[in-house]
Structure 1
C-alpha cells in the first residue's frame, strides 16, 4: 500500500530506542524526513549513525526544552507535518507508596509534554491547513494494570486526544492515538525481569496475551505510518489498541 508519506516532516519524541525508534524507522522507510528527541546523548548519537535522522537532546519534562525543540525542528525542516508524542516513563509504585510529587512528575513527562508540543505543532500546521498528531498511550490508560501514576497520565492522554481532535479537525489536523500492549525491546525493565526469571517473557505471554507472544516495536511503527497517511483520513480522535488481544475491553 502506497502511503504517500515521502517528504513529510516528522518529529518523534522519545525516539532513540524501543517504540519511538521503530516509529522513526517506519517513517524513514516511507520516505519521510525525520527528527527525533531524547535525553541520552549517547543513544542519540547511535541512532543518528544507524538511521541518519536529525537528533535533538532535550528533557521534555521541562517547558523550556519543549519550546526549544519545536523552534529548532522548524529551523531545520521549515515546518512540521506529523508529530508523534511517544516520550514516557514509569514513576513510583502503588498509590500509597507514591508521593503526589511523583504523580506530578509522571503527568509532566507523559501528559503535559504531549499537550504542550501539540499546541506548538498545531500553530505550524494551521496555516498549511493540514497535519497529524499521534499520541502514544497504553492499554493501561484504558483499563487497570501497571503503575498507577503511569496509568493516570496515559488515561489523561487518551482523553486529551479525543477532546483536542474535535477542535483541531476544523483546521484539517487529525489528532489520534495508539495504545500499545506489552511490547518487547531490550530496555532496563525487561532485562531486570529476565534476570530474575529467564522464563518471564514466555510465561507472561502465555498468561496474559492471547496471541501467545509480546509485541514488536515495528508493529507499532506500522500502525503509526498508516494513521499518519491519508488512508486513515476518517480516523479522528480514536486511540487504537494494538496489543495482540491482551486488553480485556470490548471496544
Structure 2
C-alpha cells in the first residue's frame, strides 16, 4: 500500500483529507461538540476546507500533505497567511487590501504506512503563529524568527492577489502532539482550554503601538507584554509533539533596544 500511495497523489490526498475530517470530528464529538467540516471541490480563494464549530468560529484552511516527510517547502496561497482585515494594523500591515474578511490557516499532514495502516501527524501555521515567531516569542528552529520576518515582509509588501503563492519552509509549521492539540491551536474547543490568538494579538498590539492605552516610553510596554508572553510559551509547550522542541524565549527589559523589524 505504501508504494501505491506514494505513486498516486490524488488517492493519497483524498485519504489523508478524509482521515483529517474524521479525526477532527471524532475529537470534537468526545467533548460533545458537533464540528462541521466542508471540502471545497473548486480552488476558491485559496482554501480547501471550512471548519465550523456551530458556535463562535469558522476557519478556512488550505491543506497540504506529504508522504515519507520528504517535502521541505510548501507553496501556500498568500491570503491564507494574512490577518483578518479588521486587525491589519495590529500585525503591521500598511493597508487591509488583500487581507481576508474571515479567519485563515494552513494544516499540513504527514502521512505514512505502519504495519499496513495509514498513520498521520498534523502541523499548523497561521498569521498568529508567524507573528509570534517574528516577534521572537518562541522558536521551533534557529531560523524561525529570521524566516518569519522574511515571510511577513513579503506578505506585507508583495503581491496582493489571493491566488498568488508564497513558499513556506515546512519547519515553520507547528507540530501538534495530537488532534486535540490541533483543535486548540486553531482556536476550537478542545481538552486544552487556551486562547492563543488573543494573547498573541495583545503582544502584537503592544509592539505595533496599536493599543488604546498610550505609553510614554517603549520600555513601559514590557510589563503589560509579560503575562501574555509567558502564557503563549506555556500553552504552546503543552501542544507540541514530544519529538519536537519548543525554544521558549524570555522577554527582557531591553526588548525594544533590538533593531526594528524590517517591514
What TM-score bracket applies, with the shorter chain setting the length?
A: 0.3 to 0.5
**Structure showing the higher strand proportion among its residues:** 2
Scaled by the length of structure 2, the TM-score of the pair is 0.32
**Structure showing the higher helix proportion among its residues:** 1
* Larger radius of gyration between Structure 1 and Structure 2: 2
Scaled by the length of structure 1, the TM-score of the pair is 0.33
